[in-house]
Amino acid sequence: MAGRADLWYQNAVIYAVDVDAFQDSDGDGVGDFQGLISRLDYLNHLGVDCLWLLPFYPSPNRDNGYDVMDYYGVDPRHGTLGDFVEFLRAADERGIRVLVDLVANHTSDQHPWFQRARVDPDSTYRDYYVWSTDPPQPDPGRGSVFPGEAGAGRVWTYDTEAGAYYYHRFYEFQPDLNLYNPAVREEIRKVVSFWLRLGVAGFRIDAATLMIEEKRPGNGQPEDPHELLRELRAHARRHGGDVVLLAEADDDPSRLGEYFAGGEFDRGDRSRPGGGVDLLLNFYLDAHLFLALATGRAGPVERALATLPPPPDGSGWANFLRNYDELNLGRLHRAEQEQVYERFAPDAHARIYGRGIRRRLAPILDGDRDRIELALSLLFSMPGTPLLFYGDEIGMGEDLSLPGRTAVRTPMQWSDAENAGFSTAPASRLVRPVVDEGPFSYERVNVADEWADPASLLNFVEHLVGTRHETPAIGRVDPEVVQTDAPSVFAHCYEGSAETVAMAHEFAGEPRTVTLDVGPKDASPMGLLGVGELRTVEVGVEVDLGPYGYRWLRVGDG
């Protein structure tokens, strides 16, 4: 098949795990590495071949571990570094690669660097952070990332010990690192080497957009903002040519192309090489997928694909539906946000930060199996690497009584045993409560029951993962939109020299027959996913789609 280079991460299925909510092995109510090891066979059976671990480092844990106190350790609640290495080995035996979160935009205020920086103005650590005795007014658009939560938009907080203000784009307990200090960059490189030496396959780069921006508001944009991640990737790749950097950059789509390794940063007067990112989390597409699901129209998907820059060879998108943060609608127009809110979060309590929804996939879609399958099929058909959030494969729900983004981080539901099989601790000691009420309670939604039921969502997802692995063109060929006369149907294809893979998705809940002008006209189509008759007609393939139906097919000699 013609297309891009063949790289492992372009045909991988990534699964995001929060170690503390996955499996507790020692009965203290908190998930740990031994617990995760015991669930690797489950992940292997599901077919996922890459795990992204949310932060598990020592941390005061005021932001789900994104407030790191020690970059070189494992929080004792999750086990030891030895347990981590054993986990890596066990994952490796099953052919599962592991990405870890690199939270380098900021540390916890409890990190020894910050503690030294506060008390001693002459310490070398002082300049690891960003200080001011007279902080400027923050630019509009560069306030707190968590409006309403973190000190009402404050980004400078006064530290009495230091006698100065320090800068933080997130919570006030997460001081930003001064990433323009070469000593800080050296520290980050050491951290990267450390985890690569232990055997991780790469990193999910937290807050990449904020990492590369000028830390002192008012100083303008740095000359070469992408140098930081470009250097980091060059450094990481010295440890192995297929190390991957997966970045969180919820930036304007016109700027996303710059982040990729091989991309270009053009500031008008001068252009420079782009960044060091192999995979970019696709927030823009995510918001548009939900807009399509909310409106019953294919247009938003088409618009998103047309707007996003094509990744350079070797780079790609990491696509997802939900993750452990809010479903961010910030990149949609106001009226579109309202449409999604009305449909998927009519209750204001389910909304957050004036831009997002703090619900999981299954409840957003009313637990409707047809629409959940449609959404997942669509996700796996999008150009790039699909990413699943733990629990979405069984259709878990959220707990809106928990604060903020925590709502979607409840423990994995393994069975209908006490505490959903997650832990033997008394319920009051669990890291977060299990969902034990309503249609998504662990008695109704759990792994054990779903494995036993061939018609379950879990078995569908396993099939979907397998089908995606057998369709590598999705990861490495640019897609083309296929026009149909039905505004509720999105159709696209990946055209290779010998065969074409095409997909059609119906959003309005109405049966439709569409004709796809794809593939060699004399070849008969083969169905890959979904149900419905396929007929070869003069102009291509005729596909019958049921309400919320989806169909993947292959035409050609493949």
Alpha-carbon gap, residue 552 to 536, rounded angstroms: 15
- Could you say which residues in the range 61-90 bind ligand GLC, by CB under 6 A? 63, 66
Single-letter code of the amino acid located at 454: P
* Nearer to ligand GLC (CB atom), residue 87 or residue 170: 170
**Number of C-alpha atoms within 13 angstroms, CB side, residue 301?**
32
Alpha-carbon gap, residue 497 to 15, rounded angstroms: 31
The residue written with tokens 């909310």 in the block is 294
Interstrand relation of 356-357 and 279-281 (parallel, antiparallel or unpaired): unpaired
For residue 188, report the phi and psi dihedrals to the nearest 5 degrees.
-65, -40
The answer to whether residue 352 forms part of the interface with ligand GLC (CB under 6 A) is no
Catalytic residues: 206, 248
Find out whether 261 and 277 touch, Cβ atoms under 8 Å: yes
User: How big is the chain, counted in residues?
Assistant: 558
Q: How far is the CB of 456 from ligand GLC (least distance, A)?
A: 30
Q: Binder to ligand GLC among 91, 192, 207, 464 (CB under 6 A)?
A: 207
* Nearer to ligand GLC (CB atom), residue 66 or residue 390: 66
Q: How far is the CB of 259 from ligand GLC (least distance, A)?
A: 15
The answer to whether residue 228 forms part of the interface with ligand GLC (CB under 6 A) is no
448: which 2 tokens? 């054990």
The answer to whether residue 246 forms part of the interface with ligand GLC (CB under 6 A) is no
Stretch 94-113: interaction string toward ligand GLC, x if CB under 6 A: ---------x----------
**Number of C-alpha atoms within 13 angstroms, CB side, residue 317?**
29
The CA-to-CA distance between both ends of the chain, in Å, stands at: 9
The residue written with tokens 């990744």 in the block is 311
* Nearer to ligand GLC (CB atom), residue 55 or residue 549: 55
> Count of residues binding ligand GLC (CB under 6 A)?
8
Radius of gyration of the chain, Cα coordinates, nearest whole angstrom: 23
152: which 2 tokens? 């009402």
Stretch 401-420: interaction string toward ligand GLC, x if CB under 6 A: --------------------
Stretch 446-485: interaction string toward ligand GLC, x if CB under 6 A: ----------------------------------------
Question: Nearest to ligand GLC by Cβ — which residue?
Answer: 66
Alpha-carbon gap, residue 280 to 295, rounded angstroms: 26
Stretch 47-66: interaction string toward ligand GLC, x if CB under 6 A: ----------------x--x
* Nearer to ligand GLC (CB atom), residue 66 or residue 320: 66
Stretch 140-179: interaction string toward ligand GLC, x if CB under 6 A: ------------------------------x---------
Q: How far is the CB of 113 from ligand GLC (least distance, A)?
A: 16
| CA distances, 471 to each of 14, 25, 374, 519 (Å) | 16, 37, 18, 16
Alpha-carbon gap, residue 343 to 337, rounded angstroms: 10
* Nearer to ligand GLC (CB atom), residue 391 or residue 530: 391
Find out whether 177 and 168 touch, Cβ atoms under 8 Å: no
What residues line the site for ligand GLC (CB under 6 A)?
Answer: 63, 66, 103, 170, 206-207, 248, 325
